[in-house]
Structure 1
Amino acid sequence: MLDPRKLHLLRELAQRGTIAAVAEAANFTPSAVSQQLSALEREAGLPLLERTGRTVSLTPAAHVLVTHAHAVLEELERATAALAALSDGPGGPLRIGAFPSATRVLLPRALAELAAGHPALEPMVSEIDPADVSAALRAGELDVALVHEYDFVPPVVDLGICAEPLFEEPMYLTDRPSIRDARDDPWIMSKPGTLCHTMAIRACQAAGFEPHVRHHVDDFDTVLAFAAAGQGVALVPGLAAQAPPPGVRLTPLPLSRRTLVAYRKGYGRHPAILAAVAAFRSAVTR
């Protein structure tokens, strides 16, 4: 019989690309991961990995097995959630990931509601870029997360992750009537590799120019402070634009950012996840 733990490692290899990356995520040594995958090959009765020097790639049989691994691991998550539903109520650690503006604006309200309604829960919050959330959820480092997606940027969740919409907010441009009018300005953007940076670059490209990026800043409060100091223009979402510094004009754009709640597939009916999603929605409404 195929071992689900080994299937998890194979799925991670399909997602992460290298045994070293899988080992780091699973807190194993690379040799231990290789041994587990070799054992899975014996269980499957077919070669799963093609080794070329120090690199590995998945065989056609491995790709077939990864497809079934998604279903197997999802069903195990569903079983875990069903067992948890038989308890008196959600309790224990609840590891929540969120991007900074949601952490600042939404999570204090949501955490207060969780504390009042489910005192046995122990929420534990970590700030994380949405691009890293899927891997953290699959690895069990997070139970639930708030992620966002922008126009010009595709969704960041993968086949093992479920994401349900939470709310949508407009995007604003500082101190210019349109992105095209800011073609000659210096720009303030998030660090390369983040969704915010990708969105801003692509928005400028859609307006017909490559932006001159002067500052790389992730915190939107700091971005607005830099804009107030005349250090450049920036795109900011509605959550970050509620109280701009004096002198900063914000122009609404026909662009939006959508926030979603993400969790492992099959895990959505877990009482702790249901409680968290309800608290997030209440915080948005309030």
Structure 2
Amino acid sequence: MLDVRKLRLLRELAHRGTIAAVAEALSYTPSAVSQQLSALEREAGTALLERTGRRVGLTAAGRALAARTETVLAALAEAEAELAAARTGLTGTLRIGAFPTAVRTVLSPALVALSSAHPGLELRVSELDPAVVPDALRADAIDVALVQEYDFTASPDDPALETEPLLEETIHLAALSAGPPRAHRDAPWIAATPGTLCHTMTVRACEAEGFTPRVRHHADDFGAVLALVAAGQGVALVPDLGLLDPPAGIVLTPLAARRRTRIAYRRGTAAHPLVAAARSALHSADGPGAFTL
């Protein structure tokens, strides 16, 4: 019989591309990953890996088995969820990942509700950029997270994860004068750290207007971004949740672009009591009166 733990390593190799990346994500040594995958080949009775020098890829059989592993792991997660639901009381550790603006607005009231309803629950929050959330979920580093996508940065589907919509926001151009992005094409721009979704959104939104922004400053906290705008250091794109307390003098021009936040969790875990409680609390926090923009 095929070992589920080894199958998971094969799935992660198909996703991450290298044994070193799999080892780092799952806290193994590269040699241990290699040994386990070799053992899986022996169990399968067919070649699953293609080795070219130091590079390792998957054979057709390996790719097919990795794809089927998604269904196997999801079924096991659903079975674990059913067992957990049979227990009395909600206890244990719930690990939540969220981006900064969501921590201050949506997540904080959700945490209060969870602590009040389930005093035996231990809550752990990690501030994560949405770009790294999928891998954190796959690696079982967190249980549930908030991810986002912009009109210009649609996220690819990940077969290991499930998501559901939470909220949608308008994106605004923050400047010292009104006008769409193209009216500020020659101004210095303020954007998030390269590699983050917010940075990609800024660049692509400007490119859609026919120019490439001249980014002078990088800041990931929207409070810092707005302070730089108020100081005359440039213009920036900011979603609703980043505008809780804008400095005086800033002109906000709403754009047609939107940011959408979704709740994400591993496939098969939606009904797990911990994940279900988090989903319910997050949806309640997004309800009327939960926060004010």
Query: What's the TM-score, normalizing by structure 1?
Result: 0.98
Structure 1 residues 271 and 265 mapped into 2: Cα distance closer, same or farther (>3 Å)?
same
1:199-249 CA distance string (max 9 Å, x none): 111000000001100011111110001101111100011001122111111
CA distance in 1, matches of 2:95, 2:123: 6
1:52-100 CA distance string (max 9 Å, x none): 1111111111110011100000001101111000011321110000001
CA distance in 1, matches of 2:127, 2:187: 31
Large movers: runs of 4+ above 2 Å: none
8 A contact 1:144–1:261 mirrored in 2: yes
Matched, 1:198 2:200: yes
- Structure 1 partner of 2:132: 132
- Structure 1 partner of 2:142: 142
CA distance in 1, matches of 2:23, 2:31: 8
Residue 234 of structure 2: which of 232, 235, 238 is its match? 232
CA distance in 1, matches of 2:90, 2:116: 13
**Map of 1:1-286 to 2, 5 A cutoff?**
1-155=1-155, 157-175=157-175, 176-285=178-287, 286=290
8 A contact 1:157–1:163 mirrored in 2: no
Residue identity opposite 1:186 in structure 2: P
Instruction: Tell me how far 1:157 sits from its aligned partner.
Output: 5.0
Q: Secondary structure at the match of 2:249?
A: coil
Structure 1: gaps spanning 5 or more residues: none
Aligned length: 286
CA distance in 1, matches of 2:217, 2:48: 46
CA distance in 2, matches of 1:112, 1:243: 22
1:131-181 CA distance string (max 9 Å, x none): 111111111100000111101112155110000000101001012410111
8 A contact 1:174–1:235 mirrored in 2: yes
Residue identity opposite 2:256 in structure 1: P
Q: Secondary structure at the match of 1:89?
A: coil
CA distance in 1, matches of 2:55, 2:154: 29
CA distance in 2, matches of 1:112, 1:178: 39
Residue identity opposite 2:27 in structure 1: N
Q: Secondary structure at the match of 2:286?
A: helix
Structure 2: gaps spanning 5 or more residues: none
Q: Secondary structure at the match of 2:238?
A: strand
CA distance in 2, matches of 1:204, 1:163: 28
Q: CA RMSD in A?
A: 0.9
8 A contact 1:130–1:156 mirrored in 2: no
* Sequence identity percentage: 59
Q: Secondary structure at the match of 1:39?
A: helix
Residue identity opposite 1:161 in structure 2: L
